[in-house]
Amino acid sequence: MTALVFRKLGAMSRLWRLVAVLGGLLIALALPWLIYPPVAMDIVAWALFAVALDLLLGFTGLLSFGHAAFWGTAAYAAGTIAIKTGAPFPVAVAGAALVAMVLAVPIALLAVRRTGIYFAMVTLAFAQMVYYLANQWSSLTGGENGLQGIPKNLFGLDLSDPFYFYYAGLPIALIGLLIAWRVVHSPFGRVLVAIRENPARSRSLGFPVDRYKVMIFVISAGLSGLAGGLYAISHGFASLQEVYWTTSGKVVIMTVLGGIGTLWGSVIGAALIVQVEDYVATSGIHLGPLNITGPGLITGLIFVGVVLLFRRGVWGTIAHLVRSRRRGVPDVEPHLSGTPSVAEREPAVAPKS
Amino acid sequence: MDPSNAPGGDSGAVIATTGLSKSFRGFTAVDRVDLTVSEGDVHALVGPNGAGKTTLFNLLTGFLKPSAGQIRLGGRDITGSSPERIARLGVARSFQITNLFEQLTLQQHVELALMGTTKLGHRFWVSDRVLTRFRDRAGELLDEVGLARQRNVPAGTLAYGQKRALELALALALDPAVLLLDEPTAGMGMEDVERTVELVRRIRTNRTVVLVEHNMSVVAGLADRVTVLQFGRILTEGRYDEVRNDPRVIEAYLGGESAA
């Protein structure tokens, strides 16, 4: 009988998932009708970026605070490829993703030797190196002027209207999201969650934890690169802002705001932040006598509010409520992998001296 | 000192350590241990708390790197190998401090362990539906440790004794040649202890089992050989009845730390 109940629940959750996917697709298709099309494109690019980060943060328990390195490098790479070769923009974006993955390999190899806050610091340090490089190497990146005049080539089609470009760019982001979804729902994804939950135990089951971390780091960087390349092509412009640490911070905020370890949450977090920033920037709200022009401040306040009230983030909270209503799920949350390993606990055992 | 393992070792030795030592900041937890575990034996490690049993386990499974000495597994030098490599060489362990994936269901736990013996783990491009091939075997293993009914609940909700049983199922899922069990019956009620002893008796066929255990009736019922550790050193070794009457062992338990 319980088997029957579970089968019914399984069918229900499959139906629910189908509805969610179709609904999401519908919203994605309708978006440029509902809001300013360039903003719609921004949402889609940031959503992919946030999902890419969530693969690390939510599903593997690794907080990267240097993902701007991959987003930004890919932005420059996509721009350079498009300008120098005149290739169709999807080729430029794919090439940019590849560049981001290559850059990720050495960073990952060094970063995965650390966990928790140290991992975050190593990734941040590398991202800052990339930032200084981009700033210095102005013959390639345009330095403080940025890389300007990136064309939107696609077999002679006129994509100068952001409305049309949105529909040309959307499939790339959807492919990226599909890749992320596949990774999460694969045997590999199962191992990632195991590593997040208990790295030492995963090793004792025969999984080389560091190799898995490097793999997901490179996959995450590739998807971030896809997003960053798309963003640069969409704006026709790649700037130092793209490799700056605030970009790394912003994508972390989006992921946490939406709810880590949920994929959908990252999409919602990205949509929220991009929308709010656009609203605040265009409405010209000034906060207080210090003339703090607000996107940063307002998104910061929203972030603090959500983190304090809903620790699982927007989508995480909703999903948890739905799930716990269906059956008693224990109150456990995703967390960073950094739990002391057996080896670290061991010295606590000492004989009486 | 028990000089039974001359360098080179006899061919029946599955695990052989020579001069194995581990110190933590000046404190020597394992001190020049020469341990030989013969193939097919159930070999118990006993000793008062802090005698170095768990440290020895962590050395044997690669979770700690020895300060000195050598570990051989079936003639192969595995000193300093990583835990995942040793696991893949056929050595599975259960943990003393229960060490599970709180959010995963029991089914997922065992599937994960079964996957650990294959190359599936790296496939990020296929659906996790391929794991259904492990479903039946996972069900059997859970049934074997008496957890079949809880297969769909997250491990975090299990009672302590049930978690210990799940630890056993995970170790078994790896189908190891050598099974290291760190206090498998700790925290279990009487019936569960009996079932675990029965289980170990069943699964020891074609396997070598090393067992850390405080419950002497479990040791008496299972072990072919017993090694007594004290202060990180081997105090004595032999059959259970030989060791039990050794005055040094009695002294170690009664005069030393009380073995609760």
Q: What is the pLDDT of residues B136-162, one digit of tens each?
A: 899 989 988 888 888 888 888 888 778
B177: three-class secondary structure by DSSP: coil
B221: three-class secondary structure by DSSP: helix
pLDDT of residue A117: 86
Which chain A residue has the Cα nearest residue B27? Answer: A350
User: In a mutagenesis test of the B interface, which of A175, A195, A342 is the best target, namely the one with the most B β-carbons within 10 Å?
Assistant: A342
- Chain B residues whose CB is inside 8 A of the A198 CB are 99-101
A279/A82: higher pLDDT: A82
* Average model confidence (pLDDT) across chain A: 82
Contact B58, B29 (CB under 8 A): no
pLDDT at B8 over 60: no
* DSSP-derived secondary structure letter, B154: B
Mean pLDDT throughout B32-55?
Answer: 88
pLDDT at B130 over 60: yes
Which chain A residue has the Cα nearest residue B167? Answer: A201
pLDDT of residue A263: 85
Cross-chain CB nearest to B123 (options A188, A205, A343): A188
> Do residue B29 and residue A350 have CB atoms under 8 angstroms apart?
yes
Please tell me the distance in Å from A92's CA to the nearest CA on chain B. 24
Domain A8-325 listed as CATH 1.20.1530: no
The percent of residues above 90 in pLDDT, for chain A, comes to 36
Per residue in A111-122, pLDDT (tens digit) is: 988 888 888 899
Residue A185 backbone phi and psi in degrees, to 5: -100, 50
Please tell me the distance in Å from A118's CA to the nearest CA on chain B. 21
Longest Cα–Cα distance in chain A:
82
A327/B239: higher pLDDT: B239
Dist. CA B128–CA A144, nearest whole Å: 46
Instruction: Name the most confidently modeled range: A37-51, A248-262, B1-15, B231-245.
Output: A37-51
> Do residue B50 and residue A194 have CB atoms under 8 angstroms apart?
no
Tell which residue, B63, B85, B126, has the closest CA to residue A190.
B126
pLDDT of residue A294: 56
Query: At which residue do the structure tokens 């960053």 appear?
Result: A228
Mean pLDDT throughout A224-242?
Answer: 92
> Do residue B49 and residue A212 have CB atoms under 8 angstroms apart?
no
pLDDT of residue B244: 81
Q: Which residues of A1-13 are buried (b: 16+ CB within 10 A; e: fewer)?
A: eeeeeeeeeeeee
pLDDT of residue B2: 40
Tokens of B74: 């079936």
Cα-Cα-Cα-Cα dihedral sign, residues A253, A256, A258, A260? positive
Q: Which residues contact B153 (CB under 8 A, 6 or more apart)?
A: B105, B106
Q: Which residues of A touch B (CB under 8 A)?
A: 6, 182-183, 185-191, 193-194, 197-198, 200-201, 203-209, 212, 215, 219, 329-330, 332, 341-343, 345-347, 349-352
> Do residue A219 and residue B29 have CB atoms under 8 angstroms apart?
no
> Do residue A352 and residue B156 have CB atoms under 8 angstroms apart?
no
* Average model confidence (pLDDT) across chain B: 84
User: In a mutagenesis test of the A interface, which of B63, B81, B95, B124 is the best target, namely the one with the most A β-carbons within 10 Å?
Assistant: B124
Distance of CA B255 to the CA centre of its chain: 28
The pLDDT-based confidence of A81 (bands split at 50, 70, 90) is: very high
pLDDT at A336 over 70: no
Mean pLDDT throughout B186-207?
Answer: 83
Which chain A residue has the Cα nearest residue B94? Answer: A204
Q: How far is CA A39 from CA A175, A225, B148, B212, in A?
A: 20, 19, 52, 63
* DSSP-derived secondary structure letter, B51: S
pLDDT of residue A92: 92
pLDDT at B61 over 70: yes
The pLDDT-based confidence of B175 (bands split at 50, 70, 90) is: confident
Q: How far apart are the first and last CA of chain A?
A: 58
The pLDDT-based confidence of A348 (bands split at 50, 70, 90) is: very low
The percent of residues above 70 in pLDDT, for chain A, comes to 84
Contact A176, A109 (CB under 8 A): no
pLDDT of residue A192: 93
The interface predicted TM-score of the complex, written ipTM, equals: 0.78
Q: How far is CA B107 from CA A339, B134, B250, in A?
A: 23, 9, 44
Tell which residue, A155, A177, A195, has the closest CA to residue A341.
A195
Distance of CA A39 to the CA centre of its chain: 18
**Amino acid in position B210:** V
Contact A236, A149 (CB under 8 A): yes
Per residue in A284-321, pLDDT (tens digit) is: 665 555 555 556 677 777 777 777 777 787 787 877 77
Is B102 within 8 Å of chain A by CB? yes
Q: What angle do the packed helices A264-283 and A2-34 form, to 10 degrees?
A: 30
pLDDT of residue A16: 79
Please tell me the distance in Å from A247's CA to the nearest CA on chain B. 28
**Domain boundaries along the sequence of chain B:** 1-90+206-260
Mean pLDDT throughout B56-74?
Answer: 91
B160: three-class secondary structure by DSSP: helix
The pLDDT-based confidence of A105 (bands split at 50, 70, 90) is: very high
> Do residue B130 and residue A187 have CB atoms under 8 angstroms apart?
yes
> Do residue A342 and residue B97 have CB atoms under 8 angstroms apart?
yes
Q: Can you give the three-state secondary structure of B94-131, one letter per residue?
A: ECCCCCCCCCCEHHHHHHHHHHCCCCHHHCCCCCHHHH
Domain B1-90+206-260 listed as CATH 3.40.50.300: yes
pLDDT of residue A288: 53
B257: three-class secondary structure by DSSP: coil
pLDDT of residue A352: 35
Mean pLDDT throughout B46-64?
Answer: 88
Dist. CA B45–CA B54, nearest whole Å: 9
The pLDDT-based confidence of B257 (bands split at 50, 70, 90) is: very low
pLDDT at A257 over 60: yes
pLDDT of residue B43: 92
Is B117 within 8 Å of chain A by CB? yes
**Domain boundaries along the sequence of chain A:** 8-325
Q: Which of residues 190-229 of B touch A (CB under 8 A)?
A: none
pLDDT of residue B97: 67
Tell which residue, A272, A270, A260, A267, has the closest CA to residue A311.
A260
- Chain B residues whose CB is inside 8 A of the A186 CB are 123-128
In terms of Cβ atoms closer than 10 Å to its own Cβ (0-12, 13-18, 19+), residue B28 is middle
Q: Which residues contact B236 (CB under 8 A, 6 or more apart)?
A: B2, B227, B228, B243, B246, B248, B249
Please tell me the distance in Å from A220's CA to the nearest CA on chain B. 12
Is B94 within 8 Å of chain A by CB? no
Please tell me the distance in Å from B63's CA to the nearest CA on chain A. 6
The pLDDT-based confidence of A344 (bands split at 50, 70, 90) is: very low
Dist. CA A249–CA A246, nearest whole Å: 5
The pLDDT-based confidence of A174 (bands split at 50, 70, 90) is: very high
Which residues, listed in sequence order, are joined to residue A286 by a DSSP beta bridge?
A293
Is B170 within 8 Å of chain A by CB? yes
pLDDT at A346 over 70: no
Which residues, listed in sequence order, are joined to residue B233 by a DSSP beta bridge?
B230
Size of the A and B interface in Cβ pairs below 8 Å: 142
Per residue in A14-52, pLDDT (tens digit) is: 787 788 889 888 988 888 888 888 889 999 999 999 999
